[in-house]
Structure 1
Amino acid sequence: MLASGIAFVGVNGGVKHLGTDLPAAQSAFIRFAYGVLFFLPMLGPIWRKGFPAPVWRLFGWRGLLHVAAVVFWFHAMARVPVAEMSAIAFLNPVIVLVLAGLMLGEPLGMRRLLVVLAALAGAMIVLRPGFRAVTEGHLSQMAATLCFAVSYLFAKRLSQLAPPGVVVAMMSFSVTLGLLPLALWVWVPVDLNQMVWLGGVAGLATFGHYAMTRAFVAAPLTVTQPVTFLQILWSAALGALAFAEPVDPWVIAGGAVIIGAVSLNTWAEARRGLALAEAEAESVAP
């Protein structure tokens, strides 16, 4: 998950560098088309594998969610400072927490509800509505974060049904197909420099998704998600050094509130799981 986070910060820098010269749907399509080239040798074996119909449906739903997510994200990345993008993205595990609870039929409980409220307060510190303009870029990143959160739930489920490489390959295939009509609708000429940068973005993103899927196999979301919080430090440094974006203390503070809320919940969940395991061990002990 640490390697995945570093790769995605590199993706942020590449897309930020490209700016708004290319439409978001077209940039996203070219990035995922590169990903298809990386995984093209796997297409035949995947098809012959013959996954059950429910698995193919999960691949399809994840692809649709990721199409929406990446279009929103590419649109926001060119318009919002890198550190703010990362801070807003920290709401991802909070959304996962809420949605996973709802999908499993579990009540949020007072502690989880407080975590959600604290994280939303952190988001308000980052956005500061009423004190500055909340742009379409901010709203686009919020929409992307929601779509990515649901996509991660599908990825977690798929990681139990298919190898990590297959999960990432199917995401590349399905998202590229989904983005194709959107990209053709807004297509503009692309130069060699833009193609090279998008190729680099695709390589980093593909590696990041693969590393993330391997992390999902190795550990539960409550363990893997907090590691992504280091991204705010790297994102702030990237924005300051590469794009001359000032380090906004409000963004760092809001991100810290979200990080603190989710980290406390992760610690509490771990202690709860340990206590349940100990109680179960005592109940079966002779």
Structure 2
Amino acid sequence: MYSDNIRAALFMLLAMAGFVINDTFVKIASADVSPAQIMAIRGVAASLFLYILAWKLRALRPMRLALSPRLLLRTAADILATLSYITALGQMPIANASAIFQALPLTVTLGAALFLGEPVGWRRWTAIAVGFIGVMIIVRPGTEGFTIYSVAVLASVVFAAVRDLSTRRMDKAVPSIFIALVTSIAVSLVGWLLLPFSGGWQPVSTSLLVTLCCAAAAIAVGYIFIVQAMRTGDMGFVAPFRYSILLYALLLGYLVFGDLPAPLTLLGAAIVVASGLYTLYRERLRGVVEVPPTQQVH
């Protein structure tokens, strides 16, 4: 079991690297095309990768399942989360966006308590409150550094929480990769539909097309390895490794874009991560640790 957990942790580290590499390519592409065009082009490539993966894993299911109420809700929430996150990512440092997004596990716990009736003790309520104080330190409303794009990431967190909470109530017989495929196709279709309202189609150079294909490959890698992590190890052991995404974001943000987060941003991120880790620890004690396989928004 120990070796399985180590392998699962490595898979989680690879998955988080894939998601941040995707973010990096998306941010590069944002300088030339709109979020809608990014969603449209990247979605086609990502859907192709996920279709091949689902086919190889024998996880394809009738597409009519995509019309089930819970999957429709999940897909709609994922579309809104992706649109708001990509919009923000083009205008703010990757590390800042990733730091705010680490509030997702806390938001899911809060939502599960408020809307699904899951019991949450005073310790986790305290961790949630402290975590959101950390988010406020990162966002710093009312200061010069506060922008509408910080609000967009917060909106993305809320939509992603809706997505993950709806995932909890879905039939577990529906494969995770099939759910990811349905979402990827829907995100791409919405991107194409939004194009006329976001400046229209912009010329796509070869380098830009390669950039978006690399983003699609990276996010597919993220999906592949996060599923592998879930299937291989104990989630109570593996889940904390998802926070490695913040370290990757700090590193790539500096190397690629020269971004160095402010000390207060780092402090807020540390508070959010510590609160999230404590929440995971408490949930592990209660035996309810659950990390949805498509919880990232990119």
Provide the TM-score with structure 2 as the length reference.
Answer: 0.81
Match of 2:17 in 1: 6
Q: Give 1:254's aligned amino acid.
A: G
Cα gap change, 1:218 to 1:163, in 2 (>3 Å): farther
Counterpart pick for 1:117 among 129, 135, 150: 129
Kindly state the Cα deviation for residue 163 of structure 1 after the two structures are TM-superposed.
Answer: 2.3
Match of 1:35 in 2: 46
Gaps of 5+ in 2: 1-11, 289-298
Cα gap change, 1:132 to 1:103, in 2 (>3 Å): same
Counterpart pick for 1:83 among 92, 95, 100: 95
Kindly state the Cα deviation for residue 240 of structure 1 after the two structures are TM-superposed.
Answer: 1.3
Alignment partner of 1:246: what SS?
coil
Segment of structure 1 superposing worse, 164-173 or 23-32:
164-173
Counterpart pick for 1:256 among 270, 274, 277: 270
Counterpart pick for 2:255 among 241, 246, 262: 241
For the residues of structure 1 that align with 2:186 and 2:216, how far apart are their CA atoms? 15
Q: Deviations over 1:123-147 (max 9, x none)?
A: 1111222333311111111111211
Cα gap change, 1:223 to 1:148, in 2 (>3 Å): farther
Note if 1:148 corresponds to 2:164: no
**Does the aligned pair in 1 maintain the 2:15–2:221 contact within 8 Å?**
yes
Cα gap change, 1:32 to 1:53, in 2 (>3 Å): closer
Q: Give 1:181's aligned amino acid.
A: L
Kindly state the Cα deviation for residue 264 of structure 1 after the two structures are TM-superposed.
Answer: 1.5
Number of corresponding residues: 272
What percent identity do the matched residue pairs reach? 25
Note if 1:188 corresponds to 2:204: no
For the residues of structure 2 that align with 1:265 and 1:143, how far apart are their CA atoms? 22
Note if 1:73 corresponds to 2:85: yes
Alignment partner of 2:276: what SS?
helix
Cα gap change, 1:261 to 1:218, in 2 (>3 Å): same
**Does the aligned pair in 1 maintain the 2:127–2:275 contact within 8 Å?**
yes
Segment of structure 1 superposing worse, 216-225 or 134-143:
216-225
**Does the aligned pair in 2 maintain the 1:232–1:252 contact within 8 Å?**
no
**Does the aligned pair in 1 maintain the 2:35–2:83 contact within 8 Å?**
yes
**Does the aligned pair in 2 maintain the 1:89–1:141 contact within 8 Å?**
yes
Note if 1:134 corresponds to 2:146: yes
Whose Rg is larger? 1
For the residues of structure 2 that align with 1:122 and 1:167, how far apart are their CA atoms? 32
* Residue correspondence of structure 1 range 40-59 to structure 2 within 5 A: 40=51, 49-50=61-62, 56-59=68-71
Kindly state the Cα deviation for residue 22 of structure 1 after the two structures are TM-superposed.
Answer: 0.9
For the residues of structure 2 that align with 1:97 and 1:119, how far apart are their CA atoms? 12
For the residues of structure 1 that align with 2:65 and 2:182, how far apart are their CA atoms? 14
Q: Deviations over 1:218-265 (max 9, x none)?
A: 678765543221122121111111111124222111111011112122
* Residue correspondence of structure 1 range 156-195 to structure 2 within 5 A: 156-158=168-170, 160-186=172-198, 187-189=200-202, 190-195=204-209
**Does the aligned pair in 2 maintain the 1:168–1:210 contact within 8 Å?**
no
Kindly state the Cα deviation for residue 92 of structure 1 after the two structures are TM-superposed.
Answer: 0.5
Kindly state the Cα deviation for residue 185 of structure 1 after the two structures are TM-superposed.
Answer: 3.0
Match of 1:21 in 2: 32
